[in-house]
Amino acid sequence: MVYFVLVHGLCHGGWCWYKVKPLLESAGHRVTAVDLAASGINMAKIDEVHTMADYTEPLIELMDSLPPGEKVTLVGHSLGGFSLALAMDKFPQKISAAVFLTALMPDWTHPPSYVMDQFMKGMSAAFWLDTKLSSGLDPVKPKSTVLFGRKCLASNIYQLSPSKDLALAEMLMRFGSMFHDDLSNAKAFSEVGYGSVNRVYILCNKDLTIREDFQRWMIENNPVKEVMEIEDADHMPMMSKPNETSDLRPCATPSSLASLSLLPTLPAACLPA
C-alpha cells in the first residue's frame, strides 16, 4: 500500500483528481487530494494568499500531521510542482518519492522562478485567449491573478479530455496566481532537502500548455530518477487518460524516453522505505 497525496495545478482543486482517486483506492492505496489555499473548497480568497508558501500551506499542514515513520508519495500537476518542491525541501524524510505529472519542476541551482521564467519565454500571448488576467497578458507580474477562459481550456488545456470534464472545470475553477514575484525573490531550493528526494517525471506528449519539448528540457536541466510517458495525453492526463495516470508506475530509465509503456508494479522510487 502506498499513501498518495495528489496536488493540483493553477486554478484547479482536489476535484480534478476525481477519476484517479477511486482508481488508486480500488487498487488498495490510500489517497488524499489536497486543496491548496484559495482552491477547491479551501475557504481562503486569492487576495489573502500572498506567497507560494501561503498557497502551499494546506499541503505543509498535511505533511506536518503525518505520524513519525510514515511516508507519502507526492504527485504534483502543472504549477503544483512548486508546492511539491516546498514540501520536499521541508519534509524530505517523509516522502518516498515525488512524481511530477507534466509539472513545472524547479532545480536547486537557480532562484525558484528560473524554470517559470524559461517556461514563460516560450508561452505565446495567443495561448491565453479568453483567460481573465488581472495584469493584461502577463500572468507573472506582481500580484497578478489568472482564471482560464473556456476557449483557452477547450483549445489548449482540455483539448483531448471529455466535454463533461471541461464543463466541470468551468464550474469549479477559481482565480489563482503563479506567485512569480515571490518566487523570484526566494532563495533556491536546497540539495539536501528538495534534492535528496527521489523524483519521477511523467511526460504528456500532447500537452499544449507545458509542451513536450519543455518537459524534456526540465528533465535535462534537473535529471530525475525515473521517467515515463503517457501517450496522447493533454495537459490534464487525469481527465484525458485517467487509467494510465492512476497506474503511477513510471519504471522506465531516464534514457528511454521514446514510447514508454506502463509496467504492472510500482517502481522502488514510489514505495515506502
Q: Where are the beta strands (DSSP E) in the chain?
A: 3-7, 30-34, 72-77, 95-101, 132-133, 146-147, 199-204, 226-230
Question: What's CA 226's distance to the chain center, in Å?
Answer: 16
CA 77 to chain centre: 2
Active-site position among 235, 240, 246, 247 = 235
Q: Is 271 exposed, middle or buried (0-12, 13-18, 19+ CB in 10 A)?
A: middle
Active site residue 165: no
> Which of 263, 213, 203, 257 lies closest to 234, judged by CA?
203
Told to judge if 207 belongs to the known catalytic residues of this protein, a careful annotator would answer yes
Going across the sheet that includes 95-101, the strands are 30-34, 3-7, 72-77, 95-101, 199-204, 226-230
Which residue in the list 39, 78, 161, 246 is annotated as catalytic?
A: 78
CA 241 to chain CA mean position, Å:
16
Catalytic residue among 107, 165, 207, 247: 207
Which residue's C-alpha cell is 514508454? 260
Residue 207 CB contacts under 8 Å (≥ 6 apart), including other chains: 102, 215, 233, 234, 235
3-state secondary structure of 31: strand
Which amino acid is located at 189 in the chain? F
180 is known as an active-site residue: no
Task: Show which residues are catalytic.
Answer: 78, 207, 235
